[in-house]
Amino acid sequence: MTRTLLVLFSGVMLAGCQAIATVVGGGIGPVVERAQERGVSQTFAQPLAPAREALVQALEHLGFDVRSLETTEEGEVLRALGIDREIEVRLVPVAASATRVTAEVRAGFLVRDRATAEEILAQAGRRLESAAAVGG
The more confidently predicted of residues 75 and 17 is 75
> pLDDT for 27-57, tens place per residue?
444 444 444 456 899 999 999 999 999 999 9
Q: Give me the residue spans of the domains in the chain.
A: 21-135
CA-CA distance, 102 to 116, in Å (whole number)? 12
Q: Is this prediction's pTM over 0.75?
A: no
Average pLDDT of the chain is 80
Question: Residues 91-104: what's their mean pLDDT?
Answer: 96
Secondary-structure class of domain 21-135 per CATH: alpha beta
Query: In the structure, how many helices (H) and strands (E) does the chain have?
Result: 3, 8
